[in-house]
Structure 1
Amino acid sequence: MGNKTITKKKSTVGENITKYFLLIADIVLILFFSILAPGFLQVTNLMDILSTAALVGVLGMGASIVMMVGEMNFGIGAEATLTAAILGAVLGEGRVSVYFIGVLIALLVIGLMGVIDATFGVIIGVPAFIATLAISKINDGFINLLTGGKTLFNMEWPAAFRTLGQARLGPVPVLAVAFIVIAAALWFLVDKTKFGTYIQAIGNNAACCRQVGINVRRIKFIAFVITALVGGFAGILASSKTGNIQATLGSGIMMDAMAAAMLGATFLRPGRYNIQGTVVAAVLTAIITNGITFCGYPDYIKDIINGIILIIAVGYIAMTRKEGLPSVKMG
């Protein structure tokens, strides 16, 4: 009886380590960098970490929505950039003077791009990773058209253009607040609504969902549109932070965002993509990036550390979870 109790306790401890590995890594790295550089724990630096995590995190959460249904959008970086470019062009031409209306126009257009993604990837049946890659090249063309292949900046943009990315509420960046609000909204959508239940069920077993009457194609279609919209808003946040629009704005953080979504699948519900995990993973990558810079180490070290943490986390899940890691359709 005693051996069974010990075994059960060991099993519980192992499960908790598995579930909270990313959060533990966050805490350990914060302590590690604070020892190396005492100023690391200053409020301003911690807020910088949240701001950095916001861009990767929002784009990663967007990517994770479509990954939850077993698909992949490799064009989310281009969609983020295109949204920012449309916003900049609309505001800069003087056609729209109200920032909020410009944002709605840009998101409407990128929502239509999400519809195109879904049409090819879900309705027509082209493998989603091929369809989104191809459509991303079209988006790249529009981006170059709108930006002229250069960094886009216009003195006519309203002051509100920089508010989301540069303003503060006391010591807290508005960007960090936006990150938290978006994360809370997507968490509610995925974890607390019937639609979110369908998303997760389809990711686990689409064939079974069809048999019980769930419209799998419709749910996947909507997931593509949501991914595009969230990715587009990430582009708006990124351009607001820099105060300009670069042609590589979205592509520069896309791989980090995808990695955050994948790494997030090792948190809380190991083997399943989830919003909470993506947030914690984004914070982890931000801590590493900030810590390496703060301590004056070469940039390549952050890539090595990120890679080590990713391979350890996913390797542990692959070895300990019967179902293995979550997958997406690549063809």
Structure 2
Amino acid sequence: MLTSEVVRRRLAAGHFIGGYGLPALALVLFVVFALALPDTFPTMANLTAIISAYSIIAILAQGAMIPIVTGNFDLSIGYGLGLGHVMTLHLVVNAGRPWHEACLAVLAGGVAVGMINGFLVEFARIDSFIATLGTGSVMYAVTGWVTGGARIVAGPQGLPAGLTGLYESRILNLPVAAFYVLVLTAVLWIVLERLALGRYLYVIGSNPRAAELVGIPVRRYVILAFAGSGLVTGFAGILLAAQQQIGNPSVGLDHLLPAFVAALLGSTTIKPGRANPWGTVVAVAVLAIGLSGISQMGADFWVTPLFDGITLLIAVGLAGYSARRRTRARPAPEREAPNEEQT
């Protein structure tokens, strides 16, 4: 029979592994690929390439993470990313609007779409999967209507330097997009972990009925969560426009699966059992290191979607296990001792 001390140590070890196993995996993957590819993988050029390739996915993953905190899913983020980047280029190239006005319009549009998603989920009582898939399909149609199914290409003068500089600038010799990821993650961490708003969102995600009973306006905060997701998605669309510099009607869908994989996988680390910003960043790092390594080792093109799909299944399974483990770890409420009248 196990003693209480042994059980306590095993629980502590399990908590440590659950909380920091994913960062350890990222480190192990980096070491393995660095040893296997010493001339190309552990280089500054490769690090910069990884950051450039996965910064937008990391930002989009943070957008996906926000509704997950409330127990909902926003499948429209991939379509929103595509529409955001197309509308940015359309307003600048075709409509001749200043780039900063185009960016503000896209951000406002992202918030509006997020609020529509929230209203559909909370007032129309449509499941978040169905509601956001429907709005995503509408956004994909709007993207096709705006572009006519063709790419948006800037003229000989190119795009404004201010717009392209949003992605191409460097700080400390690193792509500026890396700092966008860090700032966004820090802001979301403060909101979710240090403000009452974040506590309300976590309570809603854990038990919406209990949140209502204690006076939390569930509908208002769920709509706010979807609006936040739309805002972040719009920002990611602007960065994608600055990166691609060509409006592609279908490019957003390529980012949907990796973003969701990262958001779900991130809920298994740092704060196991619940979605959290730093865990999402760690999950993106695991995906980026793994995919970069296997690509440099000569993997075929189909390995990337295979890797994403398998990782998504693992992430969903681990997220569910972490949530159940966290629930079992909660102390059971003590029963009141019967009084004399009851006896």
- Which stretch of structure 1 is more off in the superposition, 129-138 or 60-69? 129-138
Q: 1:134 to 1:303 in 2, by over 3 A?
A: closer
Letter paired with 1:273? A
Instruction: Please give the alpha-carbon distance, in whole angstroms, between the structure 2 residues aligned to 1:290 and 1:272.
Output: 27
Spell out, residue by residue over 1:147-183, the C-alpha distance to the aligned partner (whole angstroms, 9 max, x if none): 2212222135312222222222242001111111111
1:289 to 291, 298, 307: 291
Distance 1:166 1:294, change over 3 A: farther
Alignment check: 8 A CA contact 1:292 1:298 kept: no
1:274 aligns with 2:295: no
Amino acid at match of 1:13: A
Instruction: State how far apart, in whole Å, the 2-side matches of 1:273 and 1:186 are.
Output: 11
TM-score, with length taken from structure 2: 0.87
User: Is the partner of 1:41 in helix, strand or coil?
Assistant: coil
Give the Å deviation of 1:259.
1.1
Q: 1:48 aligns to what?
A: 49
Match of 1:152 in 2: 152
Instruction: Indicate how the Cα distance of structure 1 residues 197 and 287 shifts in structure 2: closer, same or farther if over 3 A, else same.
Output: same
- 1:263 and 1:101 map into 2 onto residues whose CA distance is 36
Equivalent position amino acid for 1:16 in 2:
F
Aligned to 1:90: 91
CA distance in 2 between partners of 1:318 and 1:56 (Å): 23
| Structure 1 spans left out of the alignment, 5+ residues | 326-331
What residue number does 1:181 align with?
183
Q: How far 1:92 sits from its partner (Å)? A: 1.2
The aligned counterpart of 1:328 is none
Output the CA distance in 2 between the equivalents of 1:111 and 1:4.
51
Structure 2: distance between partners of 1:320 and 1:107: 34
Q: Once the 2 structures are TM-superposed, how far is the Cα of residue 46 of structure 1 from its aligned partner?
A: 1.2
| Equivalent pair of 2:159/2:245 in contact (CA under 8 Å) | no
- Greater shift, 133-142 or 221-230, is seen at 133-142
Give the match's secondary structure for 2:193: helix
Tell me, what secondary structure is at the counterpart of 1:250? helix
Percent sequence identity over aligned pairs: 29
Range with bigger deviation, 28-37 or 316-325: 316-325
The structural deviation recorded for 1:239 is 2.2
Structure 1 CA distance for aligned equivalents of residues 76 and 88 of structure 2: 18
Tell me if structure 1 keeps the 8 A contact 2:273–2:322: no
Moved more, 234-243 or 72-81: 234-243
Query: Over aligned residue pairs, what C-alpha RMSD do you find?
Result: 2.3
Whole-angstrom CA distance in 1 between matches of 2:3 and 2:220 = 50
Shift of 1:295: 2.2
Q: Under a length normalisation based on structure 1, what TM-score does the superposition of the two structures give?
A: 0.90
- CA distance in structure 1 between the partners assigned to 2:202 and 2:62 by the alignment: 14
CA apart distance, 1:211: 0.5
Moved over 6 A (4+): none
1:220 maps to amino acid:
V
Q: Which residue number in structure 2 is paired with residue 71 of structure 1?
A: 72
The letter for the 2-side match of 1:137 is S
Kept in 2: contact 1:90–1:96 (CA 8 A): yes
State the shift of 1:91 in Å. Answer: 0.9
Counterparts of 1:318 and 1:93, CA distance in 2: 47
Aligned to 2:169: 167
Counterpart contact for 2:257–2:308, Cα < 8 Å:
no
- Equivalent residues, number: 324
SS of residue paired to 2:210: helix
Q: Does 1:110 align with 2:110?
A: yes
Cα separation, 2, equivalents of 1:321 and 1:197: 17
Per the alignment, residue 225 of structure 1 pairs with 227
Distance 2:35 2:318 in 1: 28
Q: 1:192 to 1:42 in 2, by over 3 A?
A: same
CA distance in 1, matches of 2:315, 2:125: 33
Deviations 1:97-130 (A, max 9, x none): 2x22221111112221122212212122222221
With over 3 angstroms needed to count, the CA separation of the structure-2 counterparts of 1:32 and 1:140, relative to structure 1, is same
2:16 match: 16
Q: Is 1:200 aligned to residue 202 of structure 2?
A: yes
